[in-house]
Structure 1
């Protein structure tokens, strides 16, 4: 059996650098997936899944090579504990990802296996860089210039893609919660289920007094607006998918103000190209003006007035955007020449 495995395993340095490359791709596409909500970008999630699954056989090859050194404590050096920690986190990231894909659940309170998968995935980045610093060995030409290595990697990618397909088929056949996963990995809520008041955005203001609240529309406009709750005339509706990065999605009917009509009423200047939606908490998100014209400022969800947890009195409904971009407790619509760079600070602070 060992000679067969030896023929399948690439050279040691090739395995090490392949682990670095596939992990980098998995982490990068995982982070990019936070911002992707349109089906046309589904390939990013497929690449993420294939890269993540490709890490596992490479780890087996790596473990097989270093097992003897790990068993002999005399062979350990200062970097060995870090290497062991990196390996444990990588295995945990792979296991939680596969578990989520198969529909597994765990008693983790408000957390899910997807949350753990994300946490382990984010930990891999700094651990891998620290590991590379202590174990760096440059890749040589002879480690990659061979038809055998090319065939090995073609087989690795093909096996990863087949495994992604197989996991979906198994989840469907077993009718697990993952059977209705969206391309983002989120699981569908039933039509009768109330939307969870959850988000990785940590903003949670006190309930807003509509009598003291004002919606302003300003920035690159010729006719700034200031509207009170009594001035709102909801007359538009959107049926849109809210896809939360915590792992669920739901298609619901939202009613409220047509953002495009509101923007046009303020008469944008020729320089206006972006619309930034501000929350009373300081949180914000920017949309291109053309996209904002198709968005909604919701006052009602499925015919009922928005609850405080869902953003009363106004919440942005941005089709094909992830849930954290649907700004809650809106108080300002600002037209800008460019996106607001402070939105990234707001996302980081709220996420942490």
Structure 2
């Protein structure tokens, strides 16, 4: 009996660890994927993994009760208590965001959204998870591949997806705002009205105190030993693309963007200097940068206008990158340097370090 409980507890712990890793991994991946199909798949997996943790509560309760029966477990609070609390915060804040029932809370004058609480708790949860699992040696074993265990894993996956489907059904039946969010989980804010779009930046990046205007701003175009300096106002070549800015802050907006494509810019200004190129690195005055594959240069825009109006400073004036199909973290603002490189586009951190 004791051995059976031990095996059940171990399987519950491994299932809990697996769901936490899946939820965390898909959460990080969701920041990078902006296409509707890929973003939807990742969002569903993330939501199902998070809600699936609730299905493990009865089994995990047995494990906790058995652990509390040991005197050593009562000496001091362990990382398990922090882990439980953080998981609860992550689930509650994630559900609130998906329902659209929570806007922002004011904390010392600073608005804090449910999604920000969700991400912040997840980051701290990662530290608590490492502390909790360190030295416990609950590694996968051959016995974990037995038919009974695999059937249990399949049932957990099916139950998690079913629970996610139930919550989505609730949002639709009740008419909650969550029923209208995009495949990536974002809510519409300011489509065809750039002034209504939130002004957000990635991590420590900030709006320059004195961003250059369209008349004085300059963009340096570099390839090999060749460098060309262009005035930002001269980058309005009439190239247009309708693209969705899907911000990792939880909102999206569709706009008609105007400017010049990277392909046109490189071909007109550098000619053969970029013949050996593999990617184009676009850098902001703040140091924030992203590399774009050369194959995407024809549909990637250096934009000076949105919805027929010049960009505002908060939205990247005088020039910003427009990268269709990519999340907002790729849409570099306040561009001042464009470099043609002969190294692969993926030779960069998954997320900007600036």
TM, length-normalised to structure 1: 0.87
Q: Indicate if the aligned counterparts of 2:96 and 2:114 stay in contact, CA closer than 8 A.
A: yes
Shift of 1:31: 0.8
Give per-residue Cα distances to partners, 1:24-80, cap 9 Å, x unaligned.
1111111111111012313222222222222222244212331365599874245x4
**Gap runs ≥5 in structure 1:** 1-6
Distance (whole Å) between structure 1 residues aligned to residue 350 and residue 141 of structure 2: 41
State whether structure 2 residue 86 is matched by structure 1 residue 89: yes
Shift of 1:197: 0.8
Alignment of 1:1-352 (within 5 A): 11-42=8-39, 43-67=41-65, 69-70=67-68, 75-78=73-76, 80-109=77-106, 110-142=111-143, 144-189=144-189, 191=191, 194-201=196-203, 202-205=205-208, 206-220=210-224, 224-265=227-268, 266-267=270-271, 268-339=273-344, 344=349, 347-349=352-354
Describe the SS at the equivalent of 1:287: strand
C-alpha RMSD of the superposition: 2.7
Shift of 1:10: 7.6
1:145 to 1:236, Cα distance in 2 relative to 1, 3 A:
closer
Distance (whole Å) between structure 2 residues aligned to residue 179 and residue 283 of structure 1: 34
1:3: which partner in 2? none
Shift of 1:88: 0.7
Distance (whole Å) between structure 1 residues aligned to residue 184 and residue 123 of structure 2: 17
Q: Indicate if the aligned counterparts of 1:276 and 1:339 stay in contact, CA closer than 8 A.
A: no
Q: Indicate if the aligned counterparts of 1:284 and 1:343 stay in contact, CA closer than 8 A.
A: no
1:327 to 1:138, Cα distance in 2 relative to 1, 3 A:
closer
Q: Indicate if the aligned counterparts of 1:234 and 1:299 stay in contact, CA closer than 8 A.
A: no
Give per-residue Cα distances to partners, 1:239-294, cap 9 Å, x unaligned.
11010101011111111122221111122433201000111111111100111221
Q: Indicate if the aligned counterparts of 1:255 and 1:300 stay in contact, CA closer than 8 A.
A: yes
Distance (whole Å) between structure 1 residues aligned to residue 128 and residue 249 of structure 2: 24
Shift of 1:212: 4.0
**Count of aligned pairs between the two proteins:** 339
Distance (whole Å) between structure 2 residues aligned to residue 23 and residue 217 of structure 1: 44
**Gap runs ≥5 in structure 2:** none
Shift of 1:321: 0.9
Describe the SS at the equivalent of 2:325: coil
TM, length-normalised to structure 2: 0.86
Shift of 1:232: 3.2
Distance (whole Å) between structure 1 residues aligned to residue 50 and residue 158 of structure 2: 13
Shift of 1:14: 0.6
1:4: which partner in 2? none
